[in-house]
């Protein structure tokens, strides 16, 4: 579960193709972390989450795009049947209008399936990218709040899954091995595919069977391990849905429910809750800290303000507990957190040129020791 980033991912000159390539290399070096079936070409899942590669999208989209941040791109898992796909596009177009967004167009994502197992190929969806834009001055997270509503409507009414639909980030993933990700999506090697950060993961399923939709990363996170309390967490989220309200989202919030999609994995449910908390007005680190708090109750040495933060949020949200090291990003920052008991390790390195690497173990990238200015591991307090 490596995360690779430049130290200033929000700067205008930070996105670079080398970050994407380093993310893919780190993923390949963690091949032993992922699972395969009897057929070793049938992977449990692999993927990459990164910033929208604006330069690439402008060259690849067969239509004109607005300014960076003023359009959103969705990675849609469409039906393989052409007639069903056309019906889905028609329905999605109508929903886009209802959500006060404008359709810019669709782009078919080229794929190479030569190395896929018949098992993976038989379950593989058709990949298309959806481009939408909002009103004047609507960009970034504000546009993401509208695309969140759009995605939930499409999911509930059309049944099409979006690995991502955002003005800030995009996800390429599938029921793949670590080496197959770049083989199936060769455009990841395009020099214009640039990002200031990359979050990659190779899945080993613990409580669900493999599928293209359940591969990591999700829309905001990936984690190494499992969440043992997921059933009660889902039940509590379902119980409080009637009380949820926010003026950050267009339309009635209850139409976007359930928060946790039926049949999802523990990771998928956790990601959906993080997304709701973040788009509802909290920073992503805030959302992570309130869902996976440190064991503050008996820690007498904790800073009082920090302890007060956890105590306050304990009345709002139950801990998502289990041995699961978590990495997360919203496209403007990237971070990591240990589980409540620090059972899953996390190591980091920083180089003199501003590269920051975090992973579940050492050796994910060949970094010269003389270039490293800081390194260590995450600790619980």
Q: Is the confidence at residue 204, as pLDDT, over 70?
A: no
206 pLDDT band, cuts 50/70/90, is low
In tens, the pLDDT along 294-352 reads 888 888 889 999 999 999 999 999 999 988 889 999 999 999 998 887 788 889 999 99
CA-to-CA distance for 381 and 43, rounded, in angstroms?
37
Weakest mean pLDDT among 91-95, 143-147, 206-210, 291-295: 206-210
Q: Provide CB contacts within 8 A for 215, sequence distance 6+.
A: 44, 45, 46, 47, 173, 174, 175, 176, 203
In tens, the pLDDT along 32-85 reads 665 555 556 667 789 999 999 999 999 999 999 999 999 999 999 999 999 999
Q: What is the pLDDT of residue 11?
A: 43
Q: What is the pLDDT of residue 10?
A: 47
Q: What is the pLDDT of residue 89?
A: 98
Q: What is the pLDDT of residue 41?
A: 64
In tens, the pLDDT along 74-86 reads 999 999 999 999 9
Cα–Cα separations (whole angstroms), residue 15 to 12, 173, 236, 284:
7, 21, 39, 21
pTM: 0.93
Instruction: Sort 254 into a burial class: Cβ within 10 Å, 0-12 / 13-18 / 19+.
Output: exposed
């Amino acid at each position: 579960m490596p995360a690779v980033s430049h130290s200033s991912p929000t700067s205008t000159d930070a996105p670079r193709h080398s970050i994407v390539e380093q993310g893919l290399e780190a993923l390949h070096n963690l091949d032993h972390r992922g699972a395969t079936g009897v057929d070793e070409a049938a992977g449990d899942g692999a993927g990459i989450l990164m910033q929208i590669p604006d330069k690439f999208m402008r060259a690849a989209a067969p239509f004109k795009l607005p300014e960076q941040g003023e359009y959103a791109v969705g990675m849609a898992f469409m039906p393989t049947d052409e007639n069903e796909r056309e019906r889905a596009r028609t329905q999605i177009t109508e929903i886009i209008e209802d959500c006060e967004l404008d359709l810019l167009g669709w782009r078919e994502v080229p794929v190479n399936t030569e190395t896929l197992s018949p098992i993976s190929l038989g379950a593989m969806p058709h990949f298309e990218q959806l481009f939408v834009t909002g009103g004047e001055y609507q960009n970034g997270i504000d546009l993401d709040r509208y695309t969140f509503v759009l995605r939930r409507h499409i999911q509930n009414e059309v049944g099409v899954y979006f690995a991502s639909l955002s003005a800030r980030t995009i996800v390429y993933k599938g029921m793949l091995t670590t080496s197959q990700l770049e083989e199936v999506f060769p455009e990841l090697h395009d020099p214009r595919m640039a990002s200031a950060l990359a979050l990659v993961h190779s899945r080993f399923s613990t409580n669900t069977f493999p599928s293209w939709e359940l591969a990591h990363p999700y829309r905001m996170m990936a984690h190494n391990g499992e969440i043992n309390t997921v059933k009660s967490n889902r039940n509590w989220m379902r119980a409080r849905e009637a009380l949820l309200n926010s003026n950050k989202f267009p339309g009635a919030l209850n139409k976007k429910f359930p928060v946790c999609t039926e049949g999802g994995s523990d990771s998928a449910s956790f990601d959906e809750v993080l997304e709701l908390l973040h788009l509802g007005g909290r920073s992503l680190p805030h959302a992570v800290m309130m869902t996976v708090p440190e064991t503050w109750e008996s820690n007498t040495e904790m800073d009082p303000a920090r302890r007060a933060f956890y105590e306050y949020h304990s009345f709002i949200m139950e801990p998502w507990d289990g041995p699961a090291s978590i990495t997360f990003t919203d496209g403007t920052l990237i971070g990591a957190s240990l589980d409540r008991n620090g059972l899953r390790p996390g190591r980091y390195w920083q180089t003199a040129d501003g590269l920051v690497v975090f992973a579940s173990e050492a050796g994910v990238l060949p970094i010269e020791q003389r270039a490293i200015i800081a390194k260590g591991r995450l600790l619980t307090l």
